[in-house]
Chains A and B, each alone.
Chain A
Amino acid sequence: MTTLQLENIVKRYKNHTVLDNLSLDVKDGETLVLFGPSGAGKTVLLRLVAGVIDPEEGRILIGGEDMTDVDAEHRGIGMAFQNFALFPHMDAFENIATPLEAKRSSADAIKAGVHRVAKLLKIDHVLTHRPKALSNGQKQRTALARALAGSPPLLLLDDPLRNVDAKLRFEMRLELPRVLAAQGATVVYVTQDYKEAMALGDRIAVMSDGRIRQIGTPEDIYNAPADIDIARLFGDPTINLLDVTPNAEVDGVSVLLSDVRIVLPGIPANTAGKSCVIGLRPEALRFVPAGTPGAIPVSVEAETPLNEKTVTLALTVRGREILVSRPAGTPGPASGSAHIAVDCASAFLFDKETGALIARHGSHTGTQGEAA
């Protein structure tokens, strides 16, 4: 285990700034997920840490030691690549053994080390195969085993599940926490899949355009997304985002949905009259009988069952689309017109111009904000 600090990292390619004055602190033994769309600079960041490319400015500290100018082979890092990057002319055993060979371990120690990680990743039966003869899942496990074999204190995983099929990805998402725990390393994990980020990260750093937009626990990011983009990236189905113009109220502000007034407590009154966007998680909405106080009339358009939940597409009186999610098996609305209730405490209000979340007074994080 070790710590990783990045201080004011700048990386440019020609005139394009890939990482813009980025700082990051990864704690001892933590799994930090770097999450963001492609082109956000996640992979570049990982390669800077690994030492295969150099930053223009800034410092990289591993375990408190300045590693900015240290060659990749002396940084003591394990890394798994998105495209596996296995050595095609070596069999799986030799591939996994490479970090141990570099340490000049004895033949017995190499054998023991390879078998330890091979067993952990359940590939001990294919160790004599060349990468060409391995399935995609086995290749991915071999690449992971190679990264783990040297027991590096810092492990960099560059979207390791990207190139495997959905079933394998699901399996590995469940298995990886166990493997990483057994390894006891500090981990930086890159992914574009928010579910993977939520499942594996102690903390998540959301990146876009070479900057970290928000960093926090999965719950923090789900329950208090810093801006509209982040709110949109986390959650399935996607959060409902509707343009509103708040009105001042005694406590907070109110907005109109289907001409029904919804009070958002704790929102600063100075937002009244501004262009805003209200964010409503589909699971924070529920169908209620007509006549319930504050219920919003909608017309039901379509229902989509998604295994553990059912998603309904509804239209407000003004013709705006709203997605409502409910656990599968619970009774749905009658077709045609229905009413939905909004859980005001878990609604977000964003400034339309800047996209930033408008904070509430006091602690008003949602009550239903479980990872979906």
Chain B
Amino acid sequence: MLTVSGLTKRFGGFIALNKVSFEVIEGEILGLIGPNGSGKTTAFNCISGALATSEGSIRFQGEEIVGMTPDAICHRGLARTFQIPRPFRKLSILENVAVAAHFGATVRTSEAEARHRAVEVLGLVGLPADPEADPTLLGAGGLKKLELARALATRPKLLLADESLGGLDPTEMASAADMLRRVRGELGVTIVWVEHIMATLMRVVDRVVVLDHGEKIAEGPPAAIAEDPRVIEAYLGEKVVLA
């Protein structure tokens, strides 16, 4: 569904991503992990068009998307969330999601349909669809949900979820992991999930790609990744957490 090959991103002389290649298969939840600064978020930014790719190719459903603007990529059915939630503070929670549903949808959506869709998606993630509700009053968990709702409102085929569980307590984490499973199950959305908290991630994903210092060091099913010596080394012996 998504084929990343030879993806390279340089910031001046610093190489944030070095010839990274991986594939996302339709219907799976792929975990993208790696220590801090390993290039996970940079990869997301390149794929979603927020950053210009230096070299390499990214094909989404057979189409080259390197060089496309973020809105064009969104219209093709590739949505993303941000690591640090970026709600539109001047809009209500409902408007935040409705604006995504109206402008970002893969199919033409009228304003009325967009509002309807927003109510639906907010229900799915468990936020109030009150047209007056102010996003600045949401806590960390609520903001993550809003972030997810906004991305889902665009009816994506592939969702890039960036560290959706950072800053959540264990209960919220479990329910958020469950949420991603439901997103795949009920909406049929393929997911690439970047996450720091690996114990949770390992239980949900089908496959894992591991980045370290901008390079792919391992790829495979969670059980094999947890035993991979290079991964353990990269994580400075976090084997306990992985298992």
Partners in one complex: no
